Amino acid sequence: MKFLVPPVLFVLIAFTSTALAESSKDATVDELLKKLPPPEKLVKDPVQRAARQEDPALKDRLGGDVINAAERGNFAGAIKLGGHLIERYPQSAASHCLYGAVLMVDRKFPTAQSEFQRAIQLRGDFSLAYFLLGITQAVQKQFTAALPNVKKVTSLEPNEPLAWMLVSECQSGLGHKQEAVQAAQRATVVSPAYLPAWLELARAENEAGNMNECLHAVLRGADLSPDSAYMLATVGYSYINLNRIPEAIPPLQRAAHFSPNDFLVRAQLGFCLETVGQTNAAMDHLRTAAKLNPNYAPVWEHLGLAYIQQGRHREAVNCFERATQIMPSYQQAWQHLAQEYQAIGRPADAQKAAARASQLRNTAPKNSKKHA
């Protein structure tokens, strides 16, 4: 019998400016996929999940009291009652699993692990106990210990996508990139209509450097949620990441339609339109993005670049000045500002801005990126 309920709702991630990279192209699928929740975050209510097991001990009123206390957020009470439950039913694997689930939710991980291990000793085919033990270990980044437990789940429940996704996460945590891809692929095979499985595959492919395969996984996920602004934006960012800017525009336009107040979607769409020469349309979205989040430096940079395309150099200077005020370490904006100061006849200011840009370029660590 499957231990997991039907696929849970996937929690979409909201982005803030502090999570975005310095240039527009940095705030793409790479940053986005890093912020997806790991599989354990998709497991809703481990206590209820444990309580669904068929076991006489869980029909005891004491078992119900454990569950009720946990649901009310009274974990101290639930833990105390759970201790009484396993004292009354020491040979009940389900009771140990329920007690462990309460401890896990309350982040008492070592004691929770002991309870799951005891449940496994009592019942060697208890897939839920292996799964929750693996999650508890993975949350603590004990991937070496977690991996055999979650692999055991896949042998007991080979059609459970979350188990394969957790295997993928553990392999990734151990630096086994190709094995992570293979496990994520298996999740999509056993549950091709499960959006989180495709996003896990996209993340694994991205980490392995397989950007075309990452895009393919993102596109498959988008097919499952065609009106999701999040997925449409992910598609657009994926195309940007591959420098396929014209292809990024249609999904970003749809994302802006469904989520008109998402400043990053507007900024990225404006960047793409600007890149292909649609300056007027670009400026509409860039201005909107700047109003939605006036402290997002990259949008001011690209708005300044759009003004340059229109020959409006003084407006461009204002934008680049704003970008450097928001982010004093923004080397690109300083470089543009130096060029525009020169264009409007301010050579002394141009020299100072160029010196600042040169200083930032020379002192920036290799392969490091500031976040806006």
Give 85-105 pLDDT, tens digit per residue: 999 999 999 999 999 999 998
pLDDT at 370: 36
* 115 contacts 99 by C-beta, under 8 angstroms: yes
pLDDT at 55: 79
**12 three-class SS:** coil
Report, as ranges of residue numbers, the positions in the chain whose pLDDT lies below 70: 1-32, 34-45, 51, 364-372
Half-sphere exposure of 159 (CA within 13 A, CB side): 7
Residue 60 CA to residue 132 CA, distance in Å, equals 23
And the tokens for 6? 């039907």
* 3 contacts 131 by C-beta, under 8 angstroms: yes
Which residue in the block uniquely carries the two structure tokens 């292996």?
A: 130
Q: Which domains does the chain have, with CATH numbers?
A: 10-35+226-372 (1.25.40.10), 38-156 (1.25.40.10), 158-212 (1.25.40)
* 316 contacts 340 by C-beta, under 8 angstroms: yes
pLDDT at 32: 67
Amino acid identity at 277: G
* Cα distances (Å, whole numbers) of residue 221 to 162, 225, 230: 16, 7, 11
pLDDT at 70: 86
Which residue in the block uniquely carries the two structure tokens 């009354």?
A: 88
Contacts within 8 Å (CB) and 24+ apart, 49-54: 49/3, 49/4, 49/5, 49/101, 49/128, 50/94, 50/97, 50/98, 50/100, 50/101, 50/128, 50/132, 51/98, 53/3, 53/94, 53/97, 53/98, 53/128, 54/1, 54/94
pTM metric for this prediction: 0.76
Residue 110 CA to residue 126 CA, distance in Å, equals 19
At 21, phi and psi to the nearest 5? -85, 170
pLDDT at 9: 24
pLDDT at 16: 22
pLDDT digits (tens, 9 = 90+) for 247-261: 999 999 999 999 999
